[in-house]
Structure 1
Amino acid sequence: MSAVFPGHLAEDFAAGRIIPYLGPGVLDLAPDATVPSSPETLVELITAKVTVPHKIRKNLTAASQYIENFKHRKTLVGLLQEAFQGQPQPTILHNFLANVPNPLPLIVDAWYDATMAAALAARSDFGQVQGVSRAEHFTDWVHYFRADGTKAEAEEAAGWTTLLYKPLGSIAPASNFIISDSDYVEVLTEIDIQTPIPERVKEIRTGRHFLFLGCRFRNQLERSYARQIMKRSTERHFAVLEGELTRNETRFFREQGIERIDMPLAEFVAGLTGTPVESRRAAVA
């Protein structure tokens, strides 16, 4: 790790005491990424294909709910499959997290792409657990999958060296998406008592810190998910987030014991990996 990387994190990271929590912004580390890297981009894609009321055209969950209500859930899933159909190209960060010498026990990835799973694909000792929509799976909160994409039972997760947790679902291997207002209502009704959080995730997070990368916390959904996933871990966490924070983000960081690292994500990842990173944002600029 280079001198740019915050030294106080290095030891915890090497010892496996850090849980990376990836948001859609990590895809901006790939200048040629082919899938949406923000809720704003995703909602533009799906509303370009289906007409929704103007007042909700920029609201991903509300637009998704409208499509689900008036065009059917299958239409919504089809639009998401199209948006995320691009072949995953792992970034330097994804490859680093997949191949650290002391394998990470848990990686949280709160977006719908399959890039992190693609980076882990060369290993047979990982599996993933994904949030699923109750609109499609009426009695389930999550589904488990082995490294080869086949369905697994919850008990198998204890034997995986690395667990990839996709709380919002993923395009692969089974196109699970928590995205509409009703999807979130189902989860948030129970998340305070931790019902939708997988047991193995609860076990691994104990005594560990979370490191938020490519995440924003501007709305209540983003904050609620993060708050409940890191519940009963430690009281100190970290977030790489450059520039001005919203008032809600500032309050959330203070309440949750999140230390903000104010630097570009690409710079942080370069320090973490020892490799220069050309981000999509830099390429556009």
Structure 2
Amino acid sequence: MSSTVFSEILNGLYENRIVPYLGPGVLFDASNKATGAAMPATGESLILAMNNGKPMAPKLMYEFPRAAMNLELKRGRNFLGQFLTKLYGETEWTRASVHNWLATWKPAYVIDINRDTQLQDSYADEEHTLIAGLARISASPFRFKIYHFDGSHYLEILQEQVDASLPILFKPMGTAKPEANFIASDADYVDYITELMGGFAIPDFLKEYRKGKQYLFIGLPLNRDSERMVMSDIIYGAAEKKGWVLNKNPTDKEQRFCKKLGLEIIDAGVEELLNAVEFSSATAA
């Protein structure tokens, strides 16, 4: 990676011109405090955790939403919510180094497609706005809930009540707290993406705030349609050069997609980013 390009990216991050967009790869070094097992975050590891460690049929192992849909049809939608709540809301995990790094400078806006709570924990000592995605509801046309964190508790608020000066934590695939709501199965994604494309999955204030921003995609594979469709709509209105993707081994499909969207692929991974900012599990301890 060019040191000049990396300096440009880091300066943009620290000046809040570039938005961190977090994928499952940022959790690579988070582990179960009791057993030492790695936190399930990638599609395959999530599927195995959801199915008691047993692989599913190859066509289901391809993508977590597909496998989740299969088990939802067999065991009901509540099964998925209970599984993800136990995994991310009731199990104690060690902190991921990326989250410890983010906690040292607290970006003004972060997008995190993981369903764990480590990003929220990083802001536990200051006020912030949390936007949590949700799907397949009839009570409202919107596919999000907005919460104000006052330094000790979350309170659900309306769009009009948002304090625009506070940091924004956007968890489009949901989170385990303050309420457990998750987007997991194919049916969830279809509903969420449909409303995202229709403008009902992003609050109006965020549609304005995101204009002209650039993004750094950290630990996010772009070889699955669900992640790509969610991402391309969330960053709508970005600068002409939309940003950078950390990916040491991009597939042809990823290269074509990034070129079409205006994203530059950087030959580096999450660990190289942490090394560049001189931050690791050891320094975080």
TM-score interval, normalised by the smaller of the two chains: 0.7 to 0.9
Change (3 A) 1:271 1:154: same
Match of 1:106 in 2: 109
Residue 163 of structure 2, aligned match among 139, 143, 158 = 158
Residue 68 of structure 1, aligned match among 68, 72, 76 = 72
User: What is the count of residue pairs matched by the alignment?
Assistant: 272
> Taking CA–CA contacts closer than 8 Å with sequence separation of 6 or more, which of the two structures ends up with the larger relative contact order?
1
Structure 1 spans left out of the alignment, 5+ residues: 279-285
Residue 144 of structure 1, aligned match among 146, 152, 166 = 146
User: Which whole-Å CA distance do the structure 2 matches of 1:207 and 1:139 have between them?
Assistant: 27
1:76-115 pair list within 5 angstroms: 76-84=80-88, 85-100=90-105, 103-115=106-118
| 2:232 is aligned with 1:230 | no
User: Which whole-Å CA distance do the structure 1 matches of 2:179 and 2:186 have between them?
Assistant: 21
Change (3 A) 1:33 1:140: farther
Match of 2:30 in 1: 30
Change (3 A) 1:208 1:138: closer
User: Which whole-Å CA distance do the structure 1 matches of 2:65 and 2:55 have between them?
Assistant: 15
Query: Could you report, residue by residue, the CA deviation over 1:51-87 in whole angstroms, capped at 9, with x for unpaired residues?
Result: 9767425542122222222322112211122222323
Percent identity (aligned):
25
Match of 1:129 in 2: 131
| 2:199 is aligned with 1:197 | no
Deviation at 1:224, TM superposition (A): 0.7
User: Which whole-Å CA distance do the structure 1 matches of 2:123 and 2:62 have between them?
Assistant: 33
Query: What secondary structure, in the 3-state scheme, does the structure 2 residue paired with 1:143 have?
Result: strand
Deviates more, 1:106-115 or 1:132-141: 132-141
Match of 2:246 in 1: 240
Deviation at 1:129, TM superposition (A): 0.4
Does structure 2 conserve the Cα–Cα contact (< 8 Å) formed by 1:90 and 1:115? Answer: yes
Q: Give TM-score scaled by structure 2 length.
A: 0.85
Does structure 2 conserve the Cα–Cα contact (< 8 Å) formed by 1:127 and 1:160? Answer: no
Query: Could you report, residue by residue, the CA deviation over 1:24-74 in whole angstroms, capped at 9, with x for unpaired residues?
Result: 110014365753121110011112289976742554212222222232211
| 2:187 is aligned with 1:185 | no
